Structure 1
Amino acid sequence: MSVIKGDPTGIHRRGIRAVAAAVTMAVTATTALLAGGITAPPAIAVPLPQQDSFYRPPEGFETREPGDILRSREVRLAVLTLLPLNVRSWQLLYRTTDLFGQPAVAVTTVVLPAGADPNRSRPLVSLQFYYDSASPACAPSFVLQQGAGLPGAEGIHSNSELIALAALISQGWAISIPDYEGLDGHLAAAEEPGYMTLDGIRAAERFEPLGLDGADTPVALWGYSGGGMGTGWAAEMQPSYAPELNVKGAAMGAPVSDVESLLHVNGSLFSSLIGIGISSLRNAYPKFREASDRYLTPEGRALMERTQAQCLPRNALSMMFVDYQRLLTIPIPEFLAVPEIAEVFDATVLGRNTPTTPIFLYQGVFDEAVPVWTNDLLAQQYCAAGASVVYKRDHLSEHLSLPSLGMADTFNWLKSRLAPNATDQIGCRTENVVSMLADFNALVSQIEINLNATFGALGFPIGPHES
């Protein structure tokens, strides 16, 4: 186990913070350059998922196999709904499974670098965005489309995720971005995000224009926060649900591994996470909805309905410092003890199923939103059950900066897992680091990611040259 050496003068820490700030600024600036052109073309209006027939399951879909493609279309992706990304992309509607084990449908957005040879084999990365909303209008398949409009702008994904997408494209890899919450926004549900992520991978492997090698395709998973939770469920469900997939590794950043633990942010800057989680569980579990509505005040029920209809940025801004005790008719501990409530919260805890793929877990020690103890415990549980885990505990970053500052280190790990003839990751280790960006290779890699994204924005291919 690594330890942090003393820094009595604080010079090293200030230097790291300066580098971190510079890289964060570079990440933010590069977002504007991710587009395939600097001048924005006129937007083409995109209907909301609720009004778009593409999302409607066709008759008889229940008889199809999980991962079967039910419908596909080519789409244009964009930053801020206007500036087109320099990629080829499609949406796939596919058959999957819901949290009750019943047939369902979901959509994934699959991406290739512009000019990629579809006859050349390549790895596939499933990138789980942290869209963290119960509203279908906040799903990646909608908000990433050019012309998505105001709801898309409200739900625009973070700079870090767009840069992560650019990094993956720069390797010439195929990418699947699943709407792992399904059509009804089941963010915090147990198991279902895993099914939908894994079936999104199956659908991508069966989609001929991507030119993948079917189940032999090397696959990696990557997600942060809510996306880390979806990634965790996919890693845990894969051995039993999709054992044929050739999953080489799963990178999980600050995953919400214990939904109930989010209650510690009550009344804080991050208090919206409680409302987002409860509104999602009310969506997913009828018994949870019935029980919670017995104890929510009229104001509390109205807040849940409003939360359910909004995307993460608006919820985060409008629900800062909310005290949820004020919205309940019984004390919070008594609410958590209601059998229908306790049963659901208990089901949503990660760690009861053991991934067989190598895990890269990273977490900010001073994360204000996701308590570090939850992922300390998750790493211990996985390791005790025989999984292979590299766990990095970052002592500089908090929840909002770690996705950017931990990106390059994570990206390097993904490259090592997807490299031809990659060596096995064996055993477990925990590394306490000042910053995941303090490693020189990670810093160089982050600069390379930004340059690749920038040149891709200006019309140069950001994938490797393919002869």
Structure 2
Amino acid sequence: MRLRSLFTAAALGAALAVPVTAPHALAAPPGCGAGDAEIYAAPPAAVTGDPGDLLACRPVKLTNIPGDVPMKAWKVRYVSTDAKGAKNVVTGTIAIPDADWTKGGSRPTVAFNPGTLGSGPQCAFSKQLAGQYVDMYEGANLTLFLKAGFAVAATDGVGYLDGQVHTYMIGANAGHALLDVVRASRQIPGGTLAADGEVGISGYSEGGAAALWGAQLAASYAPELDVVGAAAGGVPGDLKLTAEQLNGGFFAGFLADALVGLNAAYPEMPFTELMNDQGAQAIKDVRANCLFGTLAVFLGARVENFSKDKLSLEQLYALTGPGGVTWGEIVDRQKLGVDIGPASSGAKYEIGFPVFQYRGWLEEIIPHETEDGTRQAYCAAGVNTTWKNTYPTEHLSTDWGAAGDVTNFLGDRFDGKPVQGDC
């Protein structure tokens, strides 16, 4: 089935994304008895604590991870850092297999960022894994990690607390949240993850961009974490190229998510005052819908139709905010593969471990130019990079088609096997 057909059926059917009754939580160990309301509560006016500090946790049964892998799992609420350097609060999920880790050393952890799920708080990955909403597609990917014996620390990303909207595609927000969920995973009362456990990073699409941001920020932001590899697929490394392709197309909903996410991260910049009535409704629609609903609502939408002055993407990029910064400059800050280098290179973002990047041969959502370009930037910078673009799959199906390779790549890094890359 073509991905276009898959998304069309899902978006127009709308029956795939319905709230369901939450399963009963498992008995909470001492010190880990928060309710859902506490996990997802709006953040306080002033966030205290260090990045990665565990604020609250709740044992949970992950009904949307198939395969009946015996495990213990928790929802978590933790401290992170936003793109401006301020402390914020993020939620996520920790899952640890019951089976003993027998390969020597401490059990490794995969830091995981999901692909796009939607921007409203109801869309949070932690809620979907627990069966509180059904609009996700990566539970089986986590099954592979857990069956291999790896723990999983999956961030929801920034903006899934009550009253918030997801800061979609904001690189530093995503990278910080991904690294901090690993820190939080080691503080769970009754948990078994040790501080010296190796870390692998993984994500696809939006999650692929987050994975590479986590890889780029690891050495400077979380140097105590022993990150040994990162796998990132379907990566929208250049948001301007991606936006140009999305505008007016079948997947314009992703562009709507990105514009509202930029506004959430940079509310001081001109945005809501630019909107006409259709634009004001679009902001509400982004907040109200998850993945398939957003794609349906914004099918074929063009950004020019949402502002009073019919502003194009290029005209929006030229708008200035406080200090003369433009929207275009802020969007360019999210570009991957800039100012990178290997360990001890002196680059702003040093990556001292191997990276696996991949895309499907039939990719139709993210421009090939930006996915290939991100890989080329990593190679040109001297980062140990393995590349695969021969999956006979489109965007969504590549996530599933590459899952075995991702698990094996990270498993080889945990086993200490060398990889030379293929630049």
Q: Could you tell me the TM-score, scaled by structure 1's length?
A: 0.73
1:222 pairs with 2:202: yes
For 2:297, the equivalent position in structure 1 comes to 318
Task: Report the Cα distance in structure 2 between the residues aligned to 1:293 and 1:45, rounded to whole angstroms.
Answer: 40
Are residues 206 and 244 of structure 1, via their aligned partners in 2, closer, same or farther at CA, if it must alter by over 3 Å? same
Unpaired runs of 5+ residues, structure 1, are: 1-16, 25-40, 431-467
Q: Which is higher, the Rg of structure 1 or of structure 2? A: 1
Query: 1:259 Cα deviation (Å)?
Result: 1.9
1:343 pairs with 2:329: yes
For 1:169, the equivalent position in structure 2 comes to 146
For 2:343, the equivalent position in structure 1 comes to none
For 2:353, the equivalent position in structure 1 comes to 357
For 1:300, the equivalent position in structure 2 comes to 279
Is the 8 Å Cα contact of residues 205 and 217 (structure 1) preserved in structure 2?
Answer: no
- Which structure is higher in RCO with an 8 Å CA cutoff and minimum separation 6? 1
1:378 pairs with 2:357: no
For 2:17, the equivalent position in structure 1 comes to none
1:24-79: CA deviation from partner (whole Å, max 9, x where unpaired): 9xxxxxxxxxxxxxxxx985489xx9981223478798442211212222111112
Task: Report the Cα distance in structure 2 between the residues aligned to 1:43 and 1:410, rounded to whole angstroms.
Answer: 31
Q: Aligned to 2:422, which of 414, 425, 429?
A: 429
Q: Aligned to 2:97, which of 113, 122, 134?
A: 113
For 1:266, the equivalent position in structure 2 comes to 247
For 2:182, the equivalent position in structure 1 comes to 201
Are residues 44 and 391 of structure 1, via their aligned partners in 2, closer, same or farther at CA, if it must alter by over 3 Å? closer
Task: Report the Cα distance in structure 1 between the residues aligned to 2:89 and 2:180, rounded to whole angstroms.
Answer: 10
Is the 8 Å Cα contact of residues 198 and 238 (structure 1) preserved in structure 2?
Answer: yes
Query: 1:136 Cα deviation (Å)?
Result: 1.6
SS at match of 2:259: helix
Q: Aligned to 2:386, which of 383, 387, 390?
A: 390
SS at match of 2:248: coil
Q: Aligned to 2:228, which of 245, 248, 256?
A: 248
Are residues 174 and 208 of structure 1, via their aligned partners in 2, closer, same or farther at CA, if it must alter by over 3 Å? farther
Query: 1:162 Cα deviation (Å)?
Result: 1.2
Give the share of equivalent positions with the same residue, in percent: 27
Are residues 139 and 43 of structure 1, via their aligned partners in 2, closer, same or farther at CA, if it must alter by over 3 Å? closer
SS at match of 1:257: coil
Q: Aligned to 1:408, which of 391, 404, 407?
A: 404
Which deviates further from its counterpart, 347-356 or 236-245?
Answer: 347-356
Are residues 316 and 418 of structure 1, via their aligned partners in 2, closer, same or farther at CA, if it must alter by over 3 Å? same
Are residues 213 and 101 of structure 1, via their aligned partners in 2, closer, same or farther at CA, if it must alter by over 3 Å? same
Q: Aligned to 2:77, which of 78, 93, 97?
A: 93
1:410-463: CA deviation from partner (whole Å, max 9, x where unpaired): 2221211111xx13334x425xxxxxxxxxxxxxxxxxxxxxxxxxxxxxxxxx
Task: Report the Cα distance in structure 2 between the residues aligned to 1:61 and 1:231, rounded to whole angstroms.
Answer: 28
The letter for the 1-side match of 2:355 is: I
Are residues 249 and 189 of structure 1, via their aligned partners in 2, closer, same or farther at CA, if it must alter by over 3 Å? same
Is the 8 Å Cα contact of residues 61 and 70 (structure 1) preserved in structure 2?
Answer: no
The letter for the 1-side match of 2:190 is: P
1:167-194: CA deviation from partner (whole Å, max 9, x where unpaired): 0111121111111224331121131111
Query: 1:346 Cα deviation (Å)?
Result: 1.2
CA RMSD of superposed structures (Å): 3.1
Which runs of structure 2 are paired with 1:30-45 in the superposition (5 Å)? 44=23
SS at match of 1:429: coil
Q: Could you tell me the TM-score, scaled by structure 2's length?
A: 0.81
The letter for the 1-side match of 2:406 is: T
Judging by fraction of residues, say which structure has more helix.
1
1:255-308: CA deviation from partner (whole Å, max 9, x where unpaired): 2212222221222221111111111111111133xx233443220221122112
For 2:313, the equivalent position in structure 1 comes to 332
Task: Report the Cα distance in structure 2 between the residues aligned to 1:191 and 1:229, rounded to whole angstroms.
Answer: 10
The letter for the 1-side match of 2:110 is: V
Unpaired runs of 5+ residues, structure 2, are: 7-19, 26-33, 321-325, 341-350
Task: Report the Cα distance in structure 2 between the residues aligned to 1:69 and 1:257, rounded to whole angstroms.
Answer: 31
SS at match of 2:396: coil
SS at match of 1:363: strand
Query: 1:351 Cα deviation (Å)?
Result: 1.6
1:287 pairs with 2:268: yes
For 1:181, the equivalent position in structure 2 comes to 158
The letter for the 1-side match of 2:280 is: R
Is the 8 Å Cα contact of residues 61 and 130 (structure 2) preserved in structure 1?
Answer: yes
